Structure 1
């Protein structure tokens, strides 16, 4: 998880990137592709080659703004181009499988945004095709960027090194409030056919990945409830945020919301720990509170992305001074901390965008070494199985559901 070994400028070879999608994630990924080689010595230097989008005028404007050399209005044309080595997928979930499979079969490396797909069968096919491609030196990775936050990467190292002892409990929350306003307009993120799920897949998937990444353990079963607070939303219009209305009034056409606004589930991990997870896009006052706490037999860690440069650590070891017990805040900006040595002086914090840069760094470092980057499509398939188990449990009155699809008693 640390800084890649230094390379001279002559060692680095170009890798030509094609990206599909240019909205929120497209902007974040574009920034990362531009920034990574300027702060990290990489075995491959990304060239922002082609940006694909359906509308010619919009994709041309986006390419100019985000730094892409060329454009396509059909992702298939991008995949078929000989001057593209890697395809970056930043589109809604219903398109991930088709694009990723086509790109891998065309010999392109793939970075695909999370969640991997909208269903387990799609994710299974993606993982199978990716595994075959890897035997030919063509690699795929799923974009769970939060695991690249230095504080969470440090937490993973601490758990791996035994500083928390035996892991007993995990509690994870991801809370936002941008859908608290009932007049926020209907978008693809509220359409199950396009997004797969709501708060569960949009933000809860990050919590699932982060919990499994930090603990090094997989979730084996869940019991869940899900709720949609606003059943219909205005069709069209732009949401201007809380305190203003993007589309309101009795005469405004409203359409059905087919995904969840909030989800809560309990879980078991394969090594024995139990966990509690919550995701909501209607938690007033919470803007991006992605939180993770892990309790072990010797210590605990606690993290909140709204305070992302700090990791809270409780040392409960036998040598601890009973007069000074309590959580202590670690400012994760020292040069020896994961990723941070390539950035600013100590105490000069990082931000949301740095996780995407670190994602590019890890991906290109792995491709350059000819090794599988993580999380692989197989790793992301396991998250997809958890998402599906949560939905199944919620639809069966919170019945305990194994991640492999079986219902039954808690183990």
Structure 2
């Protein structure tokens, strides 16, 4: 607690707001970042709900307007945990006011918004103000280990990438409408909500970029009951996305994102096949990484099961003894600790707003391809 403090102001108090709140609390409890986060204020339009989250997680005060957070001198960082239609306005205002920013994924609802956010981040960077987008799964220890193994050349040249994010919470057509099913709020459906994760992860793990896609989108249930039970609302986003892609290094890739995979609750699956080996991961068994070493003797070759809980695995030394599993919430602590460290050192945190923009360009290419009967569509790649 002798470290300098960094005042945190968070916008949003629901599911993701609570996950971020827990991350800030655990970062200061289990890690030793050079800055100590202070949970100064939480903002939400519903004051009662915002105050409930604030009381549960130790936020010192509540505001009902995010602009009040930016105006406060005791707040140094704005954490954005709101629907996508608000990201650009809040982030740009915060960065221009000299506040560091952590923004949930996807970065924005459109390429134009993401470009404006990246430009604001670059302006702020010149003044020592930092920004990061919350692709938190990068910080799951097993996936961080996978990135390390790929970087060390342990699977050789990547030839195939398979990525799925499978959920089933919308499979019942009686499930009520939510903001996630309205394009004006969410930007897209399964594509942006969960597909953004696997686009970012595969680019991060391989160190390569997607150059083009051929895609299909589908909305299976086009009308749903409103929460009041008296009306129905029109679903204006996709329920599922499937697309083929190619990476800069020549690897072929297949992607699937759906909220209609009955029986799959939160199954983010990635497999990389390379010239010298393979890696496979499933978030529903998130402490395991499966590794195939093609250089092993043929008598003992096969996928090995790595339990990623050893102290020399990424992030794990801050937690429990080997074999004691970590969960979904731990990656948010890793995210907070990494961001605090980057700000203190004056270095650029990852993933950056430019990384978020690159994902947005892939999502845009997917939508354009699907609108043209799966025509091969080039991803707009900028240096």
TM-score range, shorter chain: over 0.9
Superposed, which structure 2 residues align to 1:106-185 within 5 Å? 106-185=97-176
Q: Which runs of 4+ in 1 moved over 3 A?
A: none
SS at match of 1:404: coil
1:350 aligns with 2:326: yes
Aligned-partner Cα distance in 2 for 1:56–1:281: 31
Q: 1:371 aligns with which of 330, 347, 365?
A: 347
Please say which of residues 52-61 and 95-104 is displaced more in the overlay. Answer: 52-61
SS at match of 1:324: coil
Where in structure 2 are there 5+ consecutive unaligned residues? none
1:281 aligns with 2:272: no
Report the TM-score when normalising by structure 2. 0.98
Residue 19 of structure 1 and its aligned partner are, at CA, apart by 0.2
Aligned-partner Cα distance in 2 for 1:58–1:39: 28
Specify the alignment match of 2:307 in structure 1. 331
Aligned-partner Cα distance in 1 for 2:8–2:46: 20
Question: Deviations for 1:94-120, whole angstroms, at most 9, x for unmatched residues?
Answer: 000000000001100000000000000
SS at match of 1:136: coil
Residue 152 of structure 1 and its aligned partner are, at CA, apart by 0.3
Question: Deviations for 1:110-152, whole angstroms, at most 9, x for unmatched residues?
Answer: 0000000000000000000101101111000000000100000
Specify the alignment match of 1:72 in structure 2. 63
Q: 1:103 aligns with which of 94, 100, 119?
A: 94
Question: Deviations for 1:47-82, whole angstroms, at most 9, x for unmatched residues?
Answer: 000000012222222211221100111111111111
Residue 254 of structure 1 and its aligned partner are, at CA, apart by 1.0
| Count of aligned positions | 382
Aligned-partner Cα distance in 2 for 1:346–1:62: 33
Aligned-partner Cα distance in 2 for 1:166–1:185: 45
What's the Cα RMSD here?
1.1
Question: Deviations for 1:295-337, whole angstroms, at most 9, x for unmatched residues?
Answer: 00000000000010000000112xx221121101001000000
Superposed, which structure 2 residues align to 1:381-392 within 5 Å? 381-392=357-368
Q: 2:274 aligns with which of 267, 292, 296?
A: 296
Report the TM-score when normalising by structure 1. 0.92
SS at match of 2:322: coil
1:257 aligns with 2:257: no
1:192 aligns with 2:183: yes
Aligned-partner Cα distance in 2 for 1:210–1:253: 39
SS at match of 1:84: coil
